[in-house]
Amino acid sequence: MNVKILREVNLNMSKENMMKETAKKLRNEILKGNYDEKQILTLLLSYVIETIDNTIKDKDDKRLYS
């Protein structure tokens, strides 16, 4: 499910805008009520992990180019 949402996000967006758009899409899916608690927690955890990974990659990229 998370992969589907990420594929729908425009790849030309900045990483920050992409994460915001993904968060909005996740929120909308959760509010539709199609998921149980375990699925919601899995979605949110995957989003948090992805956000952390992107933050680490951004810091690593900045170190490479400084």
CB 5 within 8 A of CB 26: yes
Separation CA 30–CA 45 (nearest Å)? 13
Residue written as token pair 């992409």: 18
Separation CA 22–CA 61 (nearest Å)? 22
CB 29 within 8 A of CB 1: yes
Give pTM, 2 decimals.
Answer: 0.50
Q: At a CB cut-off of 8 Å and minimum separation 6, what does 1 contact?
A: 29, 39, 43
Q: What is the pLDDT along the chain (66 residues), one digit of tens a residue?
A: 455 555 555 556 676 777 787 788 878 888 888 788 888 888 788 888 888 887 777 666 666 555
